[in-house]
Amino acid sequence: MKIPNNVLAFAGDSNLAPYKMFADYFAHYRSNNGTKGLEYQTTTNVEGKEVTISFAEKEEKMNAALRREIMRVAGVTDISQFPLETWSTHPMLKWATFAVVSAMIDMVLPDTIIESVGIYSEVRTIGWGDSAAFDVSPRDLFVVSKAGRSKRTTELHKQFKGQVTILPEPREMTVFVSLMKVLAGKESLAEFVAKMTRSFEVALSYDVYSAFVTAMAAVSNHATLGLRVAGYSQDEFVRLSQTVSAWNGGAKAVAIGTQRALAKILPANANYRYDIESDFVKIGYLRNFQGTDIMVLPQVADYINPFGLKLADDKVWIVSPSSQKIVKVVLEGSTLSYTSDVYAKANLLQTSTLIKSWGMGIATNSVAGQIGVA
């Protein structure tokens, strides 16, 4: 498990257990809410026997670990010294609660983004106030000229790298939680943190996907040489796969898209047959077609449009994951948080605002193609 440097600096080597526990808990939380991909622990060894760990057990242990970590960061050793009503106004406990929450988000956010959009994007973490510069090398080769036997040199050649700079921009999310209920164990802080993390993850993945789609909509649609094809045909699918692989230095091309879009990638011969045990029946698409591997992009809910879906079901993209990624994503610094005073509002509502900065851009020498499958 890769632990971000800012989490290491915040927790220290001896206090990483709650953050590793949250990474496992969050992966289980995502799986329970329909998003697979990240691995999590399902069993534990008790007296030499493998025992299944339920999500409810993990949540209970995670909440207890969170309370201990909050008190450690706040410098509080025993909350039984005063009533909960008194502790709920403790300024250090309020600060520590969302300082720990911010560190938990930073612990898992990079990995979740890589898991969801990593096939076409690269994620880099930088410090606060920094910018990220990506070098883009030319993909062309040098010209080889026919020469005479008495000629010392031919035309001079040199290539120069380009550079793309990405500046992160802050995003904010304001939430509120009852510190008294958290301390009393009546409100699940673990679930609350998981939902905040999921919210940042979805917002960031939306931006990455939008940048990718915008870039692919701008590629050439030349009738015979273009990388963007309006309508699907088996011949054009093979041509695009060959083109992408060849122009990426032989890196293997992979077709990606939603399950609904990939279901349209079928042989030109309408007389094909498939049985009930075939991949097409079991998973809804072919795993490999005409020598090109096919990978599904899990569909994402579009929370702005009720019951809408974010990823296009009428396009399939052909990329080379082993070459330079199309979209570069930059995460700036750690997650910041600030909490309002407990008596700042007339209704005694206490809010906390979390700030996470990111930016993205197209910085690549890689070639990718798009084919419409409507």
Q: Give the pLDDT band of residue 314 (cuts 50, 70, 90).
A: very high
Asked if 295 and 349 touch (Cβ cutoff 8 Å), the reply is no
Average pLDDT over residues 234-261: 94
pLDDT for 260 beyond 90: yes
Token pair recorded at residue 216: 């692919």
pLDDT tens track for 283-302 = 888 899 999 999 999 888 89
Point out the least confidently predicted range of 39-43, 80-84, 330-334, 351-355. Answer: 80-84
* Distance in angstroms (rounded) separating the CA atoms of residues 323 and 240: 16
pLDDT for 213 beyond 70: yes
pLDDT for 354 beyond 70: yes
The number of C-alpha atoms within 13 Å of 103 and in the hemisphere containing its C-beta is 25
The per-residue DSSP string of 106-171 comes to HHHHHHHHHHHHTTTEEEEEE-TT--EEEEE---PPPPP----TT----S------EEEEE--EEE
Average pLDDT over residues 242-261: 93
DSSP structural state of residue 34:
T
What's the angle, vertex CA 339, arms to CA 337 and CA 342, rounded to 5?
170
Q: Give the pLDDT band of residue 21 (cuts 50, 70, 90).
A: very high
pLDDT for 150 beyond 90: no
The per-residue DSSP string of 212-228 comes to HHHHHHTS---TTT-SE
Point out the least confidently predicted range of 84-88, 295-299, 369-373. Answer: 84-88
Q: Give the pLDDT band of residue 41 (cuts 50, 70, 90).
A: confident
pLDDT at 87: 66
pLDDT at 170: 93
More confident residue, 127 or 316: 316
Arithmetic mean of pLDDT over the chain: 86
CA 62 to each of CA 16, 193, 349: distance values in angstroms, whole numbers, following the listed order: 13, 11, 26
pLDDT tens track for 104-124 = 999 988 888 887 788 999 999
